[in-house]
Structure 1
């Protein structure tokens, strides 16, 4: 069979409108003590332009310069920053360990960090808040708590973070996997990615697969005393990270997991996610849905991939239904023929078009 004409990737290639440019300036902002959490930030575009606060996914996913390309550099002042414990922020979970970098690393802390960063960078009025996946969660919580500071919400791959949402991705048929590896005994992402699921499930002993997130968290919480312990933790972190990275793309990359397969990234990413998920994102159940009225007057744009297996489309449906109970509808709602990643071509085009079409801030 000639495979040369088959689509091999859904990721963005030549669809970008704006070029990749160097940051205007970069820096660190100390936001806490003992440990001294310092956020790494970068500014792109027009220093006098409309401010955009970019919130990355994960939690623990970190930012990259490529993320500045959704925005017209002549119009927008774009702020990228790495949230606590990851990327170039300090300390990272990978370098300092979870017993240091996860201290005061909660949703409340991250929301407060956004306010500290905007103050430090002289953003006094309203700003656009742009976030995908966990970044959409954080953007919504920030807007619920500080609606007067948000001009527009631009959200991709809605993640409400409820228990059912996490079970879909991390639990699936794991409890019955040992005896029936291909049985559809529960809903889950594994249905579309059975080979990748095998690699994720088999890190955990069959007796512990009744709660996969708890089993992974137990490995991460273990104090390693030997090289074998450290190797086990790294294997678990890589399995967790590569599972999410792979299923984020509607058409997974052939063999290269990219940053998700790098030890330093995986150790921070996996352990921060497990920390937040074990604590129900540090917010009450149904927090976003129950407080949707707080964002009813904020223009909200939603882009979601129809084939998203990290944050299934029903999460966008639930958010829109919650907004409707308060008489609100999204300013726009775009369903792309894409998966979860922000870097899939249709999603890139949709997000860029939204930013190009926003009315100017007063």
Structure 2
């Protein structure tokens, strides 16, 4: 069977409502010094339209032009940018090393960067904030800090980042894997992706698999003294990156790892994620749900894949319950027959439909 063809049937291809476009404006915005951080940003759509701030996932992912296709270009002013340390922003982990790219790289810095970008682009009123996965986390953290700047939150693949959420994705049965790789000793994403799980655990010695994320962070933090150590770091970054890329799709394309198998992308993506996860996303435990009352003041639209094994549906369910307890159900809560990827057909179409149906921002 051609599994690549099967995987393509789950992806959105010709069903996009809006065509892929070229950015009408782009640039690098200086947001910090010592070390310098410059954010790469792009604008699409109507320069006089309702602003939409698009927050990519990861942490450590990047934006791409396809991310502008969820929005009516005649209605919306669409802003994409690469967060600190990744994509086309400067410096990056891959090009400049983690010491520079991870310095002054926290959730609080990213929240401040959104406001700096707003100011630089002359966005003075409310805006829609659109984010998936880690982008949903950052969108909610931004809204908690600056609720009056948010006309609505459009969130895909809710990520709350609690220890149990990370344990599900990165730990699973790792501690007992060497003795019995197919034992269901703990819940986890590995249950549905056994070969990808084997590849993910391969860079970690069996004795270190009691805490997989800690073991990976030790590899990334190592000052490589030899070509062998540098290869080991790259192999670990690729294993980390490809694991997430694979399990993001309900039907993985085993013939094409995409950007997740690119060395430069993987080095930035893996090390930034490990940096944030080792520091509890630079937020107090329970920060998102503890501030549900603030979020409940903002119309929230949620799309989540039923078969998401990067951010299981339980995370969206916890958010919806917290919003209900705060007195406001989400404006939209759509569960799609999809996994985690924003490029799966049902999820992409649901996000586009939500954007088409949003009430206009009051002038």
Query: Which bracket does the TM-score occupy, shorter chain normalised?
Result: over 0.9
Q: 2:334 maps to what in 1?
A: 334
**What's the TM-score, normalizing by structure 1?**
0.98
Change (3 A) 1:223 1:4: closer
Q: Deviations over 1:7-34 (max 9, x none)?
A: 3331111110000111110001000001
1:4 CA displacement? 8.7
3-state SS of paired residue (2:32): coil
* Distance in 2 separating the partners of 1:4 and 1:264: 27
Q: 1:221 maps to what in 2?
A: 221
- Please say which of residues 125-134 and 287-296 is displaced more in the overlay: 287-296
Whether the 8 Å CA contact 2:53–2:128 is kept in 1: the answer is yes
Change (3 A) 1:223 1:70: same
1:254 CA displacement? 2.4
**What's the TM-score, normalizing by structure 2?**
0.98
Unaligned runs of at least 5 residues, structure 1: none
Q: Does residue 177 of structure 1 match 2:177?
A: yes
* Distance in 1 separating the partners of 2:121 and 2:264: 29
1:3 CA displacement? 5.4
1:74 CA displacement? 0.2
Q: 1:144 maps to what in 2?
A: 144
* Distance in 1 separating the partners of 2:87 and 2:177: 34
* Distance in 2 separating the partners of 1:120 and 1:169: 37
Whether the 8 Å CA contact 1:11–1:249 is kept in 2: the answer is no
* Distance in 1 separating the partners of 2:11 and 2:287: 33
Q: 1:186 maps to what in 2?
A: 186
Q: Does residue 7 of structure 1 match 2:18?
A: no
Q: Deviations over 1:231-256 (max 9, x none)?
A: 00000000000000010000001221
3-state SS of paired residue (2:41): strand
3-state SS of paired residue (1:31): strand
- Please say which of residues 307-316 and 4-13 is displaced more in the overlay: 4-13
Q: 1:324 maps to what in 2?
A: 324
Q: 2:251 maps to what in 1?
A: 251
The number of aligned residues is: 361
Whether the 8 Å CA contact 1:241–1:266 is kept in 2: the answer is yes
Unaligned runs of at least 5 residues, structure 2: none
1:295 CA displacement? 1.2
* Distance in 2 separating the partners of 1:41 and 1:94: 19
**RMSD across aligned C-alpha pairs, in angstroms?**
1.1
Task: Report matched runs for 1:77-226 at 5 Å.
Answer: 77-226=77-226
* Distance in 1 separating the partners of 2:280 and 2:135: 16
3-state SS of paired residue (1:79): strand
Q: Deviations over 1:157-201 (max 9, x none)?
A: 000000000000000000000001000000000000001000001
